Amino acid sequence: MHIVKLGGSLFTSPRLYAWLQTLQQASLETPIIIVPGGGPFADTVRVAQQNHGFDDETAHHMALLAMKQFGLMLLALSSQANSFHYPASQRPEAGLHIWLPDSSMMDFEDIPRHWQMTADSLALWLAQQLSASRLALIKSIEANSSNIQLLSESGGIDACFPSLYQTAPVEVHWFFEQQPALFPLHGHLIS
């Protein structure tokens, strides 16, 4: 099984459809769970927090639901994908699945509730929970390093990713959105 974080920055990308087709094809070989980024839905949460000053825990909860919004859109665009709910869903046996995080994620005490914990780290966390063989990060920027700590310091991945990775390393590959790749997931390996 592979976990694939599909960046919310691909929301307006013409490559979004090519990636969904690539992932659908790849899921015939091994189950794939897409973790959606928050995209413009999360941006709206950021603006709302700036305007109204509510706490980070509330913003984190809203950002999880923003990921779900993007996930619902991906489900509508990918007719053969299935929804995936953790921890309620069974480990998938085959096909393409899209994670729809919900309020139950607030029950996990090991997940920080602030903006330094983004969909990148949530994808890593899910990969760890499901003992996935690989995590792919599909991003709108190219990796400027193979080192996770340097990627975090430069803003390529969030601040929680390096320490979470150290707790249970997973093979992580970075894909630049302009170049849908051939699978299995052999993008830019980072560690």
> 186 pLDDT band (50/70/90 cuts)?
low
CB neighbours of residue 100 within 10 Å: 21
Reduce the DSSP state of residue 8 to 3 states and report it: helix
* pLDDT tens-digit map of 24-59: 999 998 999 999 999 999 999 999 999 999 999 999
Kindly report the average pLDDT of the chain as a whole number: 91
Does residue 114 sit in helix, strand or coil? Answer: coil
Map residue 186 onto helix, strand or coil.
Answer: coil
- Cα distances (angstroms) measured from residue 114 to each of 1, 6, 118, 184: 28, 20, 8, 33
Q: Which residue has the higher pLDDT, 76 or 188?
A: 76
Q: What pLDDT score does 62 carry?
A: 96
Residue 147's CATH number:
3.40.1160.10
User: How far is 137 from 43, CA to CA, in rounded Å?
Assistant: 19
Is 179's pLDDT higher than 60?
Answer: yes
Are 126 and 170 in contact by the 8 Å Cβ rule? The answer is no
pLDDT higher than threshold 80 for residue 182: no
**Per-residue confidence band for 83, with pLDDT thresholds at 50, 70 and 90:** very high
Residue 79 CA to residue 125 CA, distance in Å, equals 27
Asked if residue 131 has pLDDT above 80, the reply is yes
**How many domains are contained in the chain?**
1
State the average pLDDT over residues 86-103.
Answer: 91
Structural domain for 81, as ranges: 2-190
Answering whether pTM is above 0.75, one says yes
The token pair that represents 66 in the structure block: 């923003």
Q: What are the start-end ranges of the H helices in 53-160? A: 56-77, 119-129, 148-153
Per-residue pLDDT band at 185 (split at 50, 70, 90):
low
39-52 and 56-77 are packed helices; what angle lies between their axes, rounded to 10 degrees? 160
